Chain A
Amino acid sequence: MNPVAANLLAAGGEAPEGSAILFPASYDLIWGGLSFLIVLTLFWKFVLPRMKQVMDERSELIEGGIARAEEMQEQARADLEAYRKALAEAREEAAEIRTQAQGDRRAIVDEARAEAAAAAAAVTQASEAAIERDRAQVVSQLTAQVGAMSIELASKIVGQSLAGDSAVRKTVEDFVSDLEQMANAQGSR
């Protein structure tokens, strides 16, 4: 077998003498050290800074989210407070308006009632006056007519028996004077 190929295989080399197993070979140290240097530098300069960057961004995202949520909650709380306040104010205002309206209503009713009473009184007065006027007119007309008719009737009766009986004559005269008194009394009212 080719010696290089043999050395590439897992099969063992020559057994060392004595305690050689505890003494490092220079090339093992060199290549092992180089390997470690490569990996260490990679982690130091590349992998861990990037990892840190990603972690920072991630935690910032999470913390930012939490902060935003808190802010929104605060806002919601303030909004609720404002809403409650506005509601209470509106209720108060409504109560006030209701009280005011009740007062207004009473005033309006009272006013209307007074107006109506006044109008009724005026109407009553006017009617009474008209009635009184009509009555006076009727009475005066009736008096005039009755007087005229009486005089006519009386003159007829008188004309027939005036000469004969002085007592009748006196009665007629009294009646006529009574009528005149009545007419005078009516006229003076």
Chain B
Amino acid sequence: MLTALVPMASSPDGGFKAPTVGEFFPGELIFIGTPFAMTRINLMGLLMAGVLSLFFVVAFAKPKLVPSGVQNLGEMAIDLVQKNVIDEALGDKGKKYAPYLISMFWLLFAFNITGILPTMHLAISSVIAIPLMFAVIAWLVFNIQGVRALGFFHYLKANLFPPGIPWPIYILVTPIEFVSTFLLRPLTLTIRLLANMMAGHLLLVLFFSATSSLLLADGFVKIFAIPSFLMGFAFTLFEILIAVLQAYIFTLLTAVYIDSATSEEH
């Protein structure tokens, strides 16, 4: 329906312009042309990291036995990851991964939620560098911890030659296990998060730019701005859920990978 209406919707600045992946390639602002140039997304990333840090510094500046206000929120934020991810997936082994997993969850959430924050309206994790970086770190952590826990050969054997199968099957199973454990895990982590964030952004841009174009159009088509806006609004709410959910999935899978890598059997 929208595509049918779009040609009719003419506005002063040239009518409806469908969003493109160009959205995710903002121009450089500072240090232009150098490897550490900064785009708008990088500024947003540092800002969100700063806001997140500030929140937790304030929450735990003077921790009290009976928490109140921000400290309550801070403790809830930590407990959320501790109980739902670390205790759930790693149990007693989870203690030493707590700083990594909790900080990753909250930074991912902060990077995801910018997708709906006014004036930002772009998830920082919708550029591939961010999910890829977290996925590579996760890959390094679970492999290193697996080798440290079981020894290099034992670790490879546990992952590539699952016990309890007649040996000829290994011809089939071992390559599959290799690809799924060592290649697909980081890849799926990256693409799941990236695609969710990109798709969410494109949906929002689509609905809101359509709302704007329809509103500026002549005649009865103006009325279609209302459903378009409502859809955009609904997807904004949905994106909040996605922001939490994707941070949770990413962190939980990382914890599960660490657990399976450091366990004798899986």
Contacts and interface: CB of A to CB of B under 8 A. Distances in A.
Contacts of B137: 36
Contact of A51 (B21, B78, B104, B121): B78
A13 B22 contact: yes
A51 B75 contact: yes
B22 A54 contact: no
A53 B62 CA distance: 12
Contact of A43 (B64, B67, B103, B120): B103
A173 B49 CA distance: 169
A21 B65 contact: no
Contacts of B36: 26-27, 30-31
A179 to B, nearest CB: 131
Interface in B1-45: 19-29, 31, 34-42, 45
Contact of A32 (B45, B60, B74, B99): B45
Contact of B60 (A9, A23, A44, A51): A51
A63 interface: no
Contacts of B35: 26-27, 30
A99 to B, nearest CB: 63
Given A12-B23, A13-B25, A48-B78, A27 B63 contact: no
A1 B123 CA distance: 24
Given A27-B42, A31-B45, A13 B26 contact: yes
Contact of B25 (A14, A42, A48): A14
B130 interface: yes
A7 B27 contact: yes
Contacts of B21: 15-16, 21
B116 to A, nearest CB: 12
Contacts of A40: 99-100, 103-104
A41 to B, nearest CB: 8
Interface stretch (B50-58, B173-181, B216-224, B240-248): B50-58
Contacts of B19: 12
A36 B46 CA distance: 9
Nearest to B75: A51
A38 interface: yes
B27 A3 contact: yes
A47 interface: yes
**Interface residues of A: mostly helix, strand, loop or mixed?**
helix
Contacts of A6: 27
A24 B132 contact: yes
Contacts of A31: 36, 38, 42, 45-46
B107 interface: yes
Most buried by A among B19, B21, B24, B103: B103
B48 to A, nearest CB: 7
Contact of B106 (A25, A30, A39): A39
Interface in B112-128: 119-122, 124, 127-128
B29 A42 contact: no
Given A30-B35, A46-B57, A54-B63, A38 B25 contact: no
B70 interface: no
Given A13-B26, A38-B53, A54-B65, A22 B128 contact: yes
A171 B21 CA distance: 189
B65 A58 contact: yes
6 contacts: A26-B35, A28-B42, A36-B104, A39-B52, A43-B103, A44-B99
Interface of A: 3-4, 6-10, 12-16, 20-36, 38-40, 42-44, 46-48, 50-51, 53-54, 57-58, 61
